[in-house]
Amino acid sequence: MSDIRVLAIVLLLIVPGCISNDNPVDGIVDEEVVELEACNGEGEYCLRTYDNVTFPETHNAFSTHEDGIYYPASNHETGLTAQWNAGMRAFMLDTHYTSQFANNPSNVAFCHGDDGRGFSPCRYGEVNPWDWLGQMKTFMEASPRDIVTLLVENDVEPDHLKSLFDDVGLSDWMYVHELNTPWPTLLELIDSETRLVVFWEQLADETHPWFHDFNIFSWTTDYSEQDTSDMNCEVHRGDGEQPVFHMNSWLSGPLGLSDPDRADQANDPDFLVERGIECIELHGKRPTFIAVDWWEDGDVVEAARRINEIEI
């Protein structure tokens, strides 16, 4: 009997739900129909911890031409549907109020920009967060074996952000992690129905444990370098002792903004895999996320798949 079949039978006995058995007879398992169900597309990911899987990620995922936001405020051509269908399962989002004088829950929007300029960045374009997150929820319902991650650069009141997740119906799926404890496996997240992991770029708030302080629970490499040769795996922000980290990969263009003309270089799968190997050699683990702009160029999903195949 092959090693794979032995593993499948053992998993059937100890991990209900990870294996499907379509033809049980009096408790005897037909080896031919025993198969691992996929977690985020692969059966072997089921028993990996969350921090030991590399997820492809879109930076400012909402900021797309398709969503009505154009350069210099845009970061992609196509929106959530195309991103999801391609295999993206991690998304960076920015929350702002549509007006600096209307700080209430109904005026929260996804916008790309800086509130510190004296006006709301939503003047460059905005995306309805209820619609966007509602669409994501629909996709998650259709893909019940997938773990999804959000990193929110939050510029609204924590209660207003939480009410947004409540309204959409995502709050019950949000995972709460205890700092400095092992991350669960993908299967454990699926079985506990906590398939949504949320970080935010905001100070920790004990009253909102669903939003994990990005700088405490994880770390990130640098971003917006001038050239791919400048990219490395050094800790730029956050706690470098944490196992969860973002490997950012987009180049700086005019005015310091993301450069769409060289996205094929930053998103080249061979280059991304080389960087992934560099991160593994430096930190002893694969990057949790590969974050890119202009995801349509290159192939970050393929790069993540290849990095996930590396033995560690």
DSSP the chain: --HHHHHHHHHHHHSBTTEE-S--BTTB--GGG-EEPPBTTBGGGGGSBGGGS-EEEETTTT-BTTTT--TTS--BSS-HHHHHHHT--EEEEEEEESSTT--SGGGEEE--S-GGGSS-GGGG--B-HHHHHHHHHHHHHH-TT--EEEEEEE-S-HHHHHHHHHHHT-GGGB----TTSPPPBHHHHHHTT--EEEEESS---TT-TTEEEHHHH-EE---SBSSGGG------EE-TTSS-EEEEE-BB-GGG-B-GGGHHHHT-HHHHHHHHHHHHHHHSS--SEEEESSTTSS-HHHHHHHHHTS--
Q: What is the pLDDT of residues 129-181, one digit of tens each?
A: 999 999 999 999 999 999 999 999 999 999 999 999 999 999 999 999 999 99
Closest CA to 304 of 278, 283, 276, 285: 276
- Alpha-carbon gap, residue 199 to 213, rounded angstroms: 6
Kindly tell me the burial class for residue 246, based on how many C-beta atoms sit within 10 Å of its own C-beta (0-12, 13-18, 19 or more). Answer: buried
- pTM for this predicted structure: 0.87
19-20 and 35-36 beta bridge pairing? antiparallel
Give residue 34's pLDDT.
Answer: 36
Q: What is the pLDDT of residues 256-292, one digit of tens each?
A: 889 999 999 999 999 999 999 999 999 999 999 999 9
Tokens 């890119």 appear where?
292
Q: What is the pLDDT of residues 170-215, one digit of tens each?
A: 999 999 999 999 999 999 999 999 999 999 998 888 899 999 999 9
Q: What is the chain's mean pLDDT, rounded?
A: 89
Give residue 63's pLDDT.
Answer: 97
Q: What is the pLDDT of residues 78-112, one digit of tens each?
A: 999 999 999 999 999 999 999 877 788 999 999 99
Superfamily of domain 41-308: Phosphatidylinositol (PI) phosphodiesterase (3.20.20.190)
Give residue 166's pLDDT.
Answer: 98
pLDDT at position 5 over 50? no
Q: Provide CATH 3.20.20.190 ranges for the chain.
A: 41-308
